[in-house]
Amino acid sequence: MDGSDLPLVRGPVPGDASRSLIDALARHECPAITARRSRRAKVLGAEQDDPVVWARGTGANVWDADDNRFVDFTSGFGVALVGHGHPAVVAAATAQTSTLIHASGDAWPDVRRIRLLERLAAFAPGSLSVGLLGLSGSDAVDAAVKTARLATGRPGVLVFEGGYHGLASGVLALQSARPAFAEPFADTLHPAVRRVPWACDVDRVAEALADGTVGLVLLEPIQGRGGVRDAPHGWLADVARATRDAGALLAFDEIQTGMGRTGARFACMHVDVQPDLLCVGKALAGGFPLSACLGTPEAMGSWGDSAGEAIHTQTFLGHPVGCAAALAVLDLLEADLLDRVQERGSALEDRLGPLRGRGLLRAVPLPAGVDALATSRALLQRGYLTLPATADSLQLTPPACISDAQIDGFADALRSVT
């Protein structure tokens, strides 16, 4: 190991190039998106600074506009499980780009979309053999909500406190990991959402379903943005039973946990609980925006046949380049990627001690009184990209190619800043 995958911080972080790009961004991007030093200071405390601007990425490394090299323990919000710019993904996308960049959604499908749906049907657990593609996680959850409405005739959705399912209007009311995000729009959102505590007694779930108006129970098998919170042993099976007893559909939002992130194809496969609907996104296409709601033929059949114009589609449905990239990711998952995720997950625990989560979806608790945001910022200065999981823990979702040296370096850096 020559250290060429370890951090290389050449000067102040953020450097001059990042700072001037962030100035340009601030002039032309909606101010709600990227927190500036001044705005961060107001909301998060005086210690906050502008972000670094990403310029390129390979494997577990990302370089910023000042050519500082970082080790990415976020995988870009959990997307780059196979690593940034995996050669197989690049090759598939490059070949597809020179073949057919865009097809025509519900009018004229392309070959890759058909192949991908076939492969996903075989890859998903049980009988989740029919898919509806989208471009974002929000799209996939939106499709699950609509499917359950059609399949059950019931408007209600039961979700769990701390859940996160995306921010588009159709799904915003379902999340409570960030209550403030929904608050300004409360009067325009899904009107029939019920919420019970995460990991609550299953009687609470049954009670919430008792009046027969809920058609969908939606949850993440491990809550991601809500703080990497595991489900208690046996709880997912209990919730599944209560859901079926009540005649509702069960959807697992595996946008973060799925496609190998926890060391199984899907997190629900660790506990052998099968949903009626399964939402995937993030790691699905190795970095390209693509998502899917997979369902049983019965649930998906409730949409009825297209009479010409699809009642649920979008311009870029089944984008060929994303589908080609996803086929490459599936090849990697069906080779040895799951073993690698399990092994790297164990390496993280060996070096960092007991962690929440599973595989490469983890949270490391910080010593008492140590603030996660301040720790994340201090780690950035040392060349490690992280995000807080909660106020007192960091989320770790590195790519599967994370090396021993990178984990060791991170552990040392973490110890030095806490």
Ligand X SMILES: Cc1ncc(COP(=O)(O)O)c(C=O)c1O
Nearer residue to ligand X within complex by CB, 51 or 166: 166
Q: What residue type is 327 in one-letter code?
A: L
User: Which residues of this chain interact with ligand X, rule CB under 6 A?
Assistant: 77, 136-138, 141, 164-166, 220, 224-225, 253, 255-256, 281
Q: What residue type is 296 in one-letter code?
A: T
Q: What residue type is 89 in one-letter code?
A: V
* Number of neighbouring beta carbons within 10 Å of residue 404: 12
Radius of gyration of the chain from its Cα atoms, rounded to whole angstroms: 21
The separation between CA 12 and the C-alpha centre of its own chain, rounded to angstroms, equals 31
Nearer residue to ligand X within complex by CB, 126 or 170: 170
Nearest-approach distance from CB 255 to ligand X, in angstroms? 4
CB proximity list for 305: less than 8 A, separation 6 or greater: none
3-state DSSP percent of the chain in helix, strand and coil, to 5 = 40, 20, 40
* 174 secondary structure, DSSP code: G
Nearest-approach distance from CB 227 to ligand X, in angstroms? 12
CA-wise closest residue to 383 among 3, 10, 2, 65:
10
Nearest-approach distance from CB 229 to ligand X, in angstroms? 12
Which residue's Cβ has the minimum distance to ligand X? 137
Nearer residue to ligand X within complex by CB, 69 or 225: 225
Nearest-approach distance from CB 22 to ligand X, in angstroms? 22
Nearest-approach distance from CB 361 to ligand X, in angstroms? 10
Nearer residue to ligand X within complex by CB, 256 or 376: 256
Nearer residue to ligand X within complex by CB, 199 or 411: 199
Nearest-approach distance from CB 191 to ligand X, in angstroms? 21
Measured N-to-C along each axis, helices 404-417 and 372-381 cross at an angle, to the nearest 10 degrees, of: 120
Alpha helices in 79-164 (DSSP H): 87-97, 111-123, 137-152
Nearer residue to ligand X within complex by CB, 32 or 122: 32
Nearer residue to ligand X within complex by CB, 30 or 307: 30
Nearest-approach distance from CB 266 to ligand X, in angstroms? 12
Maximum Cα interatomic distance, the chain, rounded to a whole number of Å: 63
CB proximity list for 308: less than 8 A, separation 6 or greater: none
* Dist CA 362 CA 230 (whole Å): 10
